[in-house]
Chains A and B, each alone.
Chain A
Amino acid sequence: MVEDRGATATVEQALSDLFDAHYRSLLGTARLLLDDPGSAEEVVQEAFAQLWVAWRRLRHQEAGAAYLRATVVNLSRGRVRRLQIVRRHPAPAPDDVGPAEDVVLAREERRLLAATVRLLPGRQRECVVLRYYLELSERETAEALSISRGSVKTHLHRALATLSDRLEALR
């Protein structure tokens, strides 16, 4: 089999463009979804490598970014599941903190929210990260997770209710 050198260059260029446009946001997504953020880079690189192989099978090459997002979510989910299977003791819930000055309070609120996001059920966590970190629309979030738009709304509603409750408790 002789590989088409021109085709390889085309794929490399297309992937390179996607890398420049999306690598950083995908890396952040993986860090937020993984319980072991240290492996985020590995997950994102793996997603790009898989897209490389699958490139010619994509129905639309514009779908490359969506493919990457879905692959990062799936790869992260698999790793989280494996960790959950072996984990004997769940991670402790973040401690409540007392009242503080405004700046300190705002920082504590963000810290508390980030910690609470990590404790959300898997789907809720994925919806929150895709919607509020990647700034995807509900439709794009639904496509990335292969679920309905209605499910996205439900997961987000529940997640925001949980997060709001935690914030209220802090105040």
Chain B
Amino acid sequence: MNRTEELLREALRDEAGDTTSAPDAWDGIVAAGIGRSRGRNLRWSAAAVAAVAGVSALAALGVVLTDEDDAGQRVGTEGPATTTETTGDAVTTTAPDPGNERPEQAFVISVGNRLSQFNTAAGQTERPLYDREVDEATGAGRLGGLSLAPDGTVWFSMAGAPGDCASFGVYRHTIDTVGPEQVAVGAAPAVSPDGRLLAYAAYSGAHGGPDGEFYGCANTLVVRDLVSGAERVWLPAVDGYQELAAITRISWAPDSRRLIYDLNYEGSSVALLDTEVPGGLGQASMPLATGDVEVESLRSPVWLAGSDEVVVLAGEGTLLRVNVATEAVAEVARSMASYGLDADATGRHLLLTETDGTLVAVAPDGNTEVLAEGFAEAVW
């Protein structure tokens, strides 16, 4: 060990200071641990751990943070978290709107191409689900197109070899099974809220330019009935190389009839599709309208649960909420450089993936919080 390292150790010990454990801290942890494991969320605050004082002082005021029945048996509570606030002598206990609690679980694909279960509170992965080596020269094997189905299954796509469009796959991973199951050839899977329909971008075959060189896989949009297996295919309008426009994100409306998708061709755009309207993709789709507000580079659309609203990324990372019926536009937040976006089952909490691999949670009030770094995609 050299002199710098030796001094550094001493300096860090000095700087860390007196770390004598406060006996109160453990009591606070016990109160929070039991509370959270039973669906409660006691928030730490300065007096965090008023907890400490907490449990006894509040008890003296008639507020009980741990439930016990008459026989003294601990009884778990279902439902939303309870918050207890003390102001002067007044103590109020409220059950907040369940939508105020952001999801504790997410699924992520790391920069290193590993699909994992992720704990948003701890800011770290908890359980690896699937690993895949990537051919760095071609990108084959890279995971993407992450989405969650209503039944809790995780869907994703895996890039194939360039020129071999049949090697691109859509996969379903059931959490407690060994590995993923390939469901289709294509990308960008999305299961409808009623769990019946799978939408995905399919590749109808390799597309060559006039010189015979491979340019990409021709995109179509497919909706498969997961019960009957029947598929309906929308071919994009063929206009030069427009059929090469890549569909990278699909999100269903709450009615399981309409969907929104992005199309990357000489820039990115977002369009709505009514799956019950006859005709090709061009006839059944219409660009997402934003009233008098001029926006560019719309991407990563997500339809918010229980509403006629979608959120999209625009420009260099502005997060917009757009009402598809009224065309009203509102700015939700600005990020540094986001390219991935997802919303939770309540439609209130958003999850951004930034180009540097940072995961950012956006609360209903627009406040952002960095959750972790090192991820290529994330959904919750």
Q: Which residues of A contact B (CB under 8 A)?
A: 1-3, 5, 8, 11-12, 15-16, 19, 23-25, 27-29, 31-32, 37, 41-42, 44-54, 57-59, 67, 70-71, 74-75, 77-78, 81-82, 106, 109-111, 113-114, 117, 128-129, 132-133, 146-147, 160, 163-164, 167
A1-B38, A114-B11, A160-B4 are known contacts; what are 12 more A-B pairs with Cβ within 8 Å? A19-B29, A24-B19, A24-B20, A28-B12, A50-B122, A51-B122, A52-B33, A70-B122, A78-B123, A109-B11, A146-B125, A163-B4
Q: Is the CB of A133 within 8 A of B12?
A: yes
Which A residues are CB-close (under 8 A) to B104?
Answer: 53
Interchain nearest-CB distance for B116 vs A (Å):
10
Given A49-B32, A75-B123, A133-B13, the answer on whether A3 and B19 have CB atoms closer than 8 Å is: no
Q: Is the CB of B75 within 8 A of A54?
A: no
Interface size class of B (residues with CB under 8 A): 35 or more
**Nearest-neighbor residue (CB-CB) of B32 within chain A:** A49
Say yes or no: is B153 at the interface (Cβ < 8 Å to chain A): no
Interchain nearest-CB distance for B55 vs A (Å):
14
Interchain nearest-CB distance for A160 vs B (Å):
6
Q: Is the CB of B12 within 8 A of A117?
A: yes
Which B residues are CB-close (under 8 A) to A37?
Answer: 17
Say yes or no: is B94 at the interface (Cβ < 8 Å to chain A): no
Q: Is the CB of B5 within 8 A of A133?
A: no
Say yes or no: is B337 at the interface (Cβ < 8 Å to chain A): no
Say yes or no: is B150 at the interface (Cβ < 8 Å to chain A): no
Q: Is the CB of B44 within 8 A of A32?
A: no
Q: Is the CB of A110 within 8 A of B11?
A: yes
Complex: A47 Cα to B33 Cα, angstroms: 10
Interchain nearest-CB distance for A48 vs B (Å):
4
Q: Is the CB of B4 within 8 A of A74?
A: no
**Nearest-neighbor residue (CB-CB) of B374 within chain A:** A146
**Nearest-neighbor residue (CB-CB) of B37 within chain A:** A53
- Residues 68-94 of chain B: 1 if any A CB is under 8 Å from the residue's CB, otherwise 0? 000001111110000000000000000
Q: Is the CB of B14 within 8 A of A110?
A: yes
Say yes or no: is B28 at the interface (Cβ < 8 Å to chain A): yes
Interchain nearest-CB distance for A34 vs B (Å):
11
Pick the residue among A12, A16, A31, A78 that contacts B17 (CB under 8 A): A31
Say yes or no: is B49 at the interface (Cβ < 8 Å to chain A): yes
Say yes or no: is B233 at the interface (Cβ < 8 Å to chain A): no
**Nearest-neighbor residue (CB-CB) of B360 within chain A:** A81
| A contact face: mostly helix, strand, loop, or mixed | helix
Q: Is the CB of B44 within 8 A of A42?
A: yes
Say yes or no: is B121 at the interface (Cβ < 8 Å to chain A): yes
Identify the stretch in B57-65, B278-286, B364-372 within 8 Å (CB) of chain A at 4 or more residues: B364-372
* Most A Cβ at <10 Å: residue of B7, B9, B15: B15
Given A32-B12, A133-B12, the answer on whether A3 and B74 have CB atoms closer than 8 Å is: yes
**Nearest-neighbor residue (CB-CB) of A26 within chain B:** B19
Q: Is the CB of B33 within 8 A of A2?
A: no
Say yes or no: is B237 at the interface (Cβ < 8 Å to chain A): no
Say yes or no: is B164 at the interface (Cβ < 8 Å to chain A): no
Interchain nearest-CB distance for B150 vs A (Å):
22
Which A residues are CB-close (under 8 A) to B29?
Answer: 15, 19, 45, 48-49, 52
Which B residues are CB-close (under 8 A) to A51?
Answer: 122
Q: Is the CB of A32 within 8 A of B16?
A: yes
Interchain nearest-CB distance for B373 vs A (Å):
8
Interchain nearest-CB distance for B68 vs A (Å):
10
* Most A Cβ at <10 Å: residue of B7, B9, B28: B7
Q: Is the CB of B26 within 8 A of A16?
A: yes
Q: Is the CB of A25 within 8 A of B19?
A: yes
Say yes or no: is B329 at the interface (Cβ < 8 Å to chain A): no
Interchain nearest-CB distance for A163 vs B (Å):
6
Q: Is the CB of A54 within 8 A of B44?
A: no
Q: Is the CB of A74 within 8 A of B122?
A: yes
Q: Is the CB of A109 within 8 A of B7?
A: yes
**Nearest-neighbor residue (CB-CB) of A58 within chain B:** B126
Interchain nearest-CB distance for B38 vs A (Å):
6
Pick the residue among B13, B17, B33, B36 that contacts A15 (CB under 8 A): B33
Given A23-B25, A146-B124, the answer on whether A52 and B15 have CB atoms closer than 8 Å is: no
Shortest 4 CB-CB distances between A and B: which pairs? A52-B33, A28-B16, A74-B123, A110-B11
Q: Is the CB of B122 within 8 A of A67?
A: yes
Interchain nearest-CB distance for B294 vs A (Å):
27
Which A residues are CB-close (under 8 A) to B238?
Answer: none
Which B residues are CB-close (under 8 A) to A111?
Answer: 11, 14
Which B residues are CB-close (under 8 A) to A31?
Answer: 15-17, 19
Pick the residue among A15, A54, A132 that contacts B119 (CB under 8 A): A54
Q: Is the CB of B5 within 8 A of A3?
A: no
Interchain nearest-CB distance for A77 vs B (Å):
7
Q: Is the CB of A128 within 8 A of B8?
A: yes
Q: Is the CB of A52 within 8 A of B36?
A: yes
**Nearest-neighbor residue (CB-CB) of B69 within chain A:** A2
Sample of 14 A–B contacts (CB below 8 Å)? A24-B20, A28-B13, A31-B15, A31-B17, A42-B48, A45-B49, A51-B122, A52-B34, A114-B12, A114-B15, A133-B9, A147-B374, A163-B8, A167-B7
